[in-house]
Amino acid sequence: MDIKKIDSNMKESIMLHEGIKWVDLDNEFLRGTAFQNGFVRLGKDHFVSKQIEVLKKHPSGMNITFRTDARSIAVKAKLVGPSYMAHMTAVGQVGFDLYEKKGEQFCFLATTKINQAAYEVTLAQQKSGSVREYRLYFPLYQQLEEAYLGLPEEASLEWVKPNQDKIVVYGTSITQGGCATRPGMSYTNILDRITDYEWINLGFSGSAHLEKEMISILNAIPKKALILEVDANNTLESLKENLPWFLDHLTSKPVYLITHFPVFLFTRELEDKKAFQKAMKNCVVLDGEELLQDLGYEGTVDGVHLTDLGFYHLALKLKDIILEKGGLQ
């Protein structure tokens, strides 16, 4: 039985309008990017590893803010492929999220319910043509080749400049956004909405190995704070070999280091890695287990990657620790 024949809300997003003007989203107003290299998260000359050469083309954390009086808003995208993971939604991997600003808060408005490598869909329809402010979040886990905002021909459009104050996060698949149900629910994107900072997501799935090449990249970004979430991609031996040198060569402070989040089985190695990281003197160490313990560790999909519940809880914890208690607010 096809559930979409019973419940129309289960149908995929479609394109509802003609007479649309398409505006390229690869422009200077992109937020969540430190190097202005299109939908690629590192600069053109940055090489860290073969894995990151692929993952840097996933536009996790990128978003764009605009004002328009359009009665309808659409998006057109071309990616290298559809979704491919069993434990993460297609929307989170290859979709876009649209938020509308109401007062001082960005509120969720619509998402692309689609699982295709190329698509054109209407995201929202408004009853009135008054000017409103929107923020559009980009896919988390697939290479994006082209993306366009679609508005009626007669609609106005004003891009909103990114905030110049940045906070950078370098980390694993959890930082990249695995396994948020939609792009807006990764923890850096949640923090993007609830703080006055632009958050730069340098999460690379399975590939946060503390390479020396990352040092010059991180040091090149002007920022108010740096967060490292690298535990899950390193053994105790690799942490001992690379982490002290890595921390010593970072040029900006403060640096926050998050230890491993909870997993099904707490091993001796995880405890040893945590103890080693907590001994670091030139950073503030945050215990990943403690950050999520209020949820009874209910905030993961598979014992490792976070659900929206885990991401939202983590974002609130980091906001409290880094911005409020850390004095950045």
pLDDT at 277: 97
Q: Are residues 125 and 191 in the same domain?
A: no
Task: Report, in this order, helix, strand and coil percent for the chain, each rounded to 5.
Answer: 30, 25, 45
- Residue 137 confidence (pLDDT) above 50: yes
- Residue 56 confidence (pLDDT) above 90: yes
Task: Give the three-class secondary structure for 137.
Answer: strand
pLDDT at 166: 96
CA distance 151 to 157: 9
126: confidence class by pLDDT, cuts 50, 70, 90: confident
State which of 139, 159, 179 marks the end of a domain: 159
pLDDT at 7: 39
- Residue 261 confidence (pLDDT) above 90: no
- What count of Cα atoms within 13 Å lies in the side-chain half-sphere of residue 226? 25
Instruction: DSSP letter for 172, please.
Output: S
Q: Report the share of the chain in percent with pLDDT over 70.
A: 93
Copy the structure tokens of residue 240: 């001992």
Element (H, E) at 170: strand 166-171
Which has the minimum average pLDDT: 92-106, 140-154, 230-244, 294-308? 294-308
CA distance 329 to 324: 5
Report yes or no: 65 and 159 within 8 Å, Cβ to Cβ: yes
CATH number assigned to the domain comprising residue 311:
3.40.50.1110
108: confidence class by pLDDT, cuts 50, 70, 90: very high
Rounded to a whole number, what is the distance in angstroms from the first to the last CA of the chain?
53
Average pLDDT for 301-328: 91
Q: Are residues 181 and 313 in the same domain?
A: yes
Average pLDDT for 186-191: 98
Q: Are residues 60 and 35 in the same domain?
A: yes
Establish if 329 belongs to a structural domain: no
pLDDT at 329: 66
1: confidence class by pLDDT, cuts 50, 70, 90: low
Q: Are residues 197 and 223 in the same domain?
A: yes
Provide the domain limits for residue 208.
166-324
Q: In one letter, which amino acid is 42?
A: L
pLDDT at 227: 98
- Residue 2 confidence (pLDDT) above 70: no
pLDDT at 37: 96
Q: Are residues 70 and 112 in the same domain?
A: yes
Quote the longest CA-to-CA distance of the chain: 63
State which of 159, 187, 210 marks the end of a domain: 159
CA distance 23 to 76: 9
Establish if 270 belongs to a structural domain: yes
Q: For the chain, what is the mean pLDDT?
A: 92
Give the DSSP per-residue string, 247-269.
Answer: HHT--SS-EEEE-PPP-SS--HH
Q: Are residues 318 and 227 in the same domain?
A: yes
- Residue 304 confidence (pLDDT) above 90: no
Query: What is the number of structural domains in the chain?
Result: 2
Give the total residue count for the chain.
Answer: 329
CA distance 292 to 313: 7
Ramachandran region, residue 233 (left: φ > 0; alpha: ψ -120 to 50; beta: rest):
alpha
